[in-house]
Each structure stands twice: as structure tokens, then as C-alpha cells.
Amino acid sequence: MHNPFKEITQEHETDLWLVQRILNGCRQDLEKLIVRHQAWIYNIALKMVLAPSDAEDITQEILIKLVTRLSTFDPEKGAFRTWLYRIVANHVISMKKRKCESLFTSFEESADAVEKIPDQSVDGLPESKVLAEELKIKCWTGMLLCLNRKQRVAFILGGIFEVSDTLGGEILEVSKANYRKLLSRARLKIDNFMQQKCGLLKSDNPCNCNRKLKGFIENGFVNPDHIRFFQDNKMKIKEVLHKNLRHFERLCTSETIRRFQEHPFYDPPEFGQWMAQIFNTEMLDRLMAGKLHS
């Protein structure tokens, strides 16, 4: 799996080579460029908004911006990944408010809502282990929405995907120091909340996936007939990052970050029909300002 945030010169050169070929008229390489990055864009969007349908729409909107603005990319001003993920960051920071952002408005309100859900036994509940995993991943992702959008992006990039302060600052158009400050504040808020509330980190904390599971099913937060977040057959984020932590590194990585990196790295939605529609019409030529030809 291509990781755009790793410092691998050959990967950056591949992006640049594809862009040059696209701007010289090769349609097929546009599809290759999209495929290289769409999973990362989708996973960022999903962590930003929680709802897969919204994340799919956001990903498509960003890919359209990639296509329409590609001719403005100037390799003399920076790497392609910086240019692209700056578009991603600006889009998810400035986009219209999404439905799940109204559900997770603050850590305090989220804590109150959880504490109002009664503890119940999961005895007799089919697939309780799978459903508890679904709840865990969805709940942890939902807590990210309690951060403001800029902090959320910084946490997703710098915390979960381990984007360096140099690249992160370039993407968010802030100094390295300000990027580190954004990330530090976001991590502190998430860490404090999870350490005080989540039973995964401390067994005597008020929220326990098994005890709260029935309540979350009853209020519709978990749908036993529609498992979306727990995907046991998918690579985990830590695997996509190629992490094999030694003991010292594990000590230096917070438990909160490690648990986020245990989440699945999701496949992007099937955009084949959408891409086929573009490639089979004059739309692409118009989008690319006439730079592509048959």
C-alpha cells in the first residue's frame, strides 16, 4: 500500500511522473494517480465526519478538485503530496457541516449522553463481540468530532497517520511549531477524555462497550444488521503505516494513538462508475481545460 506521508523519494517521483504524463494527455495515468491516493483521502474524510456516506461524497468532491486543479500544480513550489493534501485539508476544514458533527458537539455533552445510557448485560445478544468492536471503533471515531476541524485534521494527520511536523505544517500552511501545538492540544483533549471515560483504558471508567452495547443498539448508534466499522479482514492503520514498534517506541506512543492505529484502514468506495462517466464523456476535457485528448 502506497503511503504518501513516508519520506520515500521514489514514491514522490512516481507522483510527479504521473502528473507530467497526465498533463501531456494520458487519461489512463489520471486514473492511476487517483487510485494511489483515494484510499488515504477517504480514510481522512471518514475520521473527519464519521458517516461513510458523507465521507464518500467528500472524497468525490476532493477528487474532482484534484482533476480540475491539476494543471495548476507547480513542482517548483513543492511536492505533489503537499499540494494534494493541502487541498484535502482545506476542503474538510471549510466544507458544510455534516450530520454527525451535530451529534458530537463537545466532550462534555458526549460524556453526559454516555452516562445516561444504562448498563445492561449482553447475555443472549447474538454476535456481541462483533457488535462491541463496532461500537468501540465508531465511538472512538465519533469522539474526534468533538475537536474543532483544524485540531481534528492535525490529530488525524499527525497523531493517527504520523505525518511529520514539516509536512504537516506545509499541508496546513502553518509553521512547524504551530502544527506541533495544534497536534499537542488535540492529543491532550482526546487523551484526557479517554483516560477519564473509556473502559478500554481503565476498567473502572464509566463507559464500557459490553455494558453500554444494548443501550447503543436501542438508540440506533449501533445497527446489528449493518456493520460498517468493524472489518476484521481489512488491514489495520498500523499495518498500512508499516509499524512494527519496538519496546521503547511503544513506551513513547500513547495508548490512545495505538488504539486509533488498531482501527481498520478502509477501502475507498467503488468510484468506477463515476470515473467511467468522466472518461467516456467530454467532461474530462472540459475539466482539464482541454489538456487531455483521446
Residue-wise pLDDT tens digits, 43-80 = 999 999 999 999 999 999 999 999 989 999 999 999 99
Mean pLDDT of the chain: 90
Task: Answer yes or no: do 222 and 199 share one domain.
Answer: yes
With a pLDDT cut of 70, the percent of the chain lying above it is 88
Task: Answer yes or no: do 197 and 88 share one domain.
Answer: no
Among 211-220, 256-265, 274-283, the minimum mean pLDDT is found in: 274-283
Task: Answer yes or no: do 70 and 122 share one domain.
Answer: no
pLDDT score recorded for residue 294? 43
Q: How many domains does the chain have?
A: 2
Q: Tell me the pLDDT tens digit for each residue of 106-164.
A: 999 999 999 999 999 888 777 889 999 999 999 999 999 999 999 999 999 999 999 99
Task: Answer yes or no: do 187 and 237 share one domain.
Answer: yes
Task: Answer yes or no: do 203 and 257 share one domain.
Answer: yes
Task: Answer yes or no: do 110 and 180 share one domain.
Answer: yes
Question: Containing domain of residue 240, as a range?
Answer: 103-229+232-265
Task: Answer yes or no: do 239 and 215 share one domain.
Answer: yes
* Mean pLDDT score, 17-28: 89
Task: Answer yes or no: do 246 and 110 share one domain.
Answer: yes
Give CA–CA dist 179/195, Å, rounded: 24
* Mean pLDDT score, 236-250: 70
Confidence of residue 246 (pLDDT cuts 50, 70, 90): very low
Task: Answer yes or no: do 18 and 156 share one domain.
Answer: no
Q: Do residues 190 and 256 lie in contact, with contact meaning Cβ atoms separated by under 8 Å? A: yes
Task: Answer yes or no: do 122 and 181 share one domain.
Answer: yes
Give CA–CA dist 224/291, Å, rounded: 49
Task: Answer yes or no: do 221 and 274 share one domain.
Answer: no
The verdict on pTM exceeding 0.85 is yes
Confidence of residue 249 (pLDDT cuts 50, 70, 90): very low
* Mean pLDDT score, 190-213: 94
Instruction: Tell me: pLDDT of 281 over 60.
Output: no
Confidence of residue 272 (pLDDT cuts 50, 70, 90): low
Task: Answer yes or no: do 146 and 236 share one domain.
Answer: yes
